[in-house]
Amino acid sequence: MKKLNKRALQAQETKKLIFDHAIRLIREKGFYNVLIEEIASAAGVSIGTFYYYFKNKDDLALLVADNMDQHYVNYYENEMKKPKQKNALEILEGILNVSLETYSKIGAELGIIIYSSIMRDPEINERWNGMFRVYRQIVSNLIRAGQEQKLIRADMDVESIVQNFYKATRGGIMDWCINGTNMSPKEYTRDFFRCFIDGLKPQKTL
Q: Is 2 left (phi over 0), alpha (psi -120 to 50) or beta?
A: beta
Query: Can you spell out the DSSP letters for 21-32?
Result: HHHHHHHHH-GG
Tens-digit pLDDT profile for residues 40-51 = 999 999 999 999
pLDDT band at 1 (very low <50, low <70, confident <90, very high): very low
| CA 28 to each of CA 34, 37, 166, 180, 205: distance values in angstroms, whole numbers, following the listed order | 9, 16, 29, 16, 51
Homologous superfamily of the 60-200 domain (CATH): Tetracycline Repressor, domain 2 (1.10.357.10)
**Arithmetic mean of pLDDT, 124-143:** 87
Domain ranges for the chain: 1-57, 60-200
Rounded Cα–Cα distance for residues 54 and 202 (Å): 45
Domain 1-57 CATH class label: mainly alpha
pTM recorded for the entire structure: 0.81
